[in-house]
């Protein structure tokens, strides 16, 4: 129970990696606020989490700055504090570089970068009180320059940039700010693997560990570590939770 009594906000946690992190943290004793635009899946995940911890809640988010401030206030009013902020939510569309549009950049930045930035600002005062942990998300798409991922890569690398800045500024406050860059077998990847089995097999064979990470057991456990006291001397780092695919 490494997170016993801790309070965390996890964005994009109705499904996929966010859900895996929420379950992993709940099983370690954390109170979780599921923040997601998908109300149906969010409430399903809430039921799963409530089997492991009392007092979890679902908050619908539409990624507006004023909503972010209200969410932090709601969580603190319910639980009395905030210890953990996980900025996982992000949406994007792929296209070749010369076909990438400003709308694609707007989608990626408005659902990924700006909510991450806004949540960090809104949560700062509470995290300073608790000497809390921030976990943001990057991607090998940005670190390695994945083709067709210009808008997503740009937003993810921008998130890495502000993470390092916050780690330097907030270190004296006792706040740790780190990044996870994952590869995971989410629901969407499973569907893609069924539709394109040869491409999926090629991707898996390019991973030294020869498998994709499990959202809860692999990515979630990494998030638990970064949210726990065990990571107190780690900040500003990118944790490549990708089976060895990229070596920084």
Per the annotation, the verdict on 152 as an active-site residue is yes
Phi-psi region of 174 (alpha: psi -120 to 50; beta: other; left: phi over 0): left
**Closest among 63, 19, 70 to 41, alpha carbons compared:** 19
Output the CA–CA distances (angstroms, integers) from residue 45 to 5, 14, 41, in the order listed: 20, 6, 6
Radius of gyration of the chain (CA): 17
DSSP 215-237: IIIIIIHHHHHHHSGGGTT--S-
Instruction: Give the E-state strand segments of the chain in sequence order.
Output: 7-11, 31-36, 57-60, 84-87, 133-137, 176-182, 238-241
Among residues 114, 152, 200, 233, which one is catalytic? 152
The owner of tokens 């109170």 is: 31
Nearest 5°: the CA angle 239, 178, 11 is 100
* Catalytic center residues: 152
């Amino acid at each position: 129970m490494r997170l016993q009594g801790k309070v965390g906000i996890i964005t994009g946690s109705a499904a996929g990696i966010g859900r895996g992190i929420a379950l992993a943290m709940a099983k370690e004793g954390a109170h979780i606020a599921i923040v997601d635009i998908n109300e149906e899946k969010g409430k399903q995940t809430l039921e799963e989490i409530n089997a492991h911890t009392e007092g979890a809640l679902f908050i619908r988010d539409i990624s507006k700055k004023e909503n972010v401030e209200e969410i932090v206030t709601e969580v603190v009013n319910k639980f009395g504090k905030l210890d953990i902020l996980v900025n996982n939510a992000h949406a994007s569309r792929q296209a070749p570089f010369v076909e990438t549009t400003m709308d694609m950049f707007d989608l990626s930045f408005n659902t990924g970068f700006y909510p991450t930035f806004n949540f960090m600002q809104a949560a700062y005062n509470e995290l300073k009180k608790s000497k809390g942990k921030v976990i943001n998300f990057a991607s090998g798409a940005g670190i390695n320059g994945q083709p067709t991922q210009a808008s997503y890569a740009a937003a993810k690398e921008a998130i890495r940039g502000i993470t390092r800045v916050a780690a330097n500024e907030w270190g004296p406050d006792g706040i740790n700010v780190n990044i996870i860059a994952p590869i995971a077998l989410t629901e969407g990847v499973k569907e893609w693997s069924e539709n394109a089995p040869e491409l999926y097999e090629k991707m898996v064979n390019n991973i030294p560990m020869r498998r994709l990470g499990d959202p809860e057991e692999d990515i979630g456990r990494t998030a638990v570590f970064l949210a726990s006291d065990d990571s107190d001397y780690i900040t500003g780092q990118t944790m490549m939770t990708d089976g060895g695919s990229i070596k920084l």
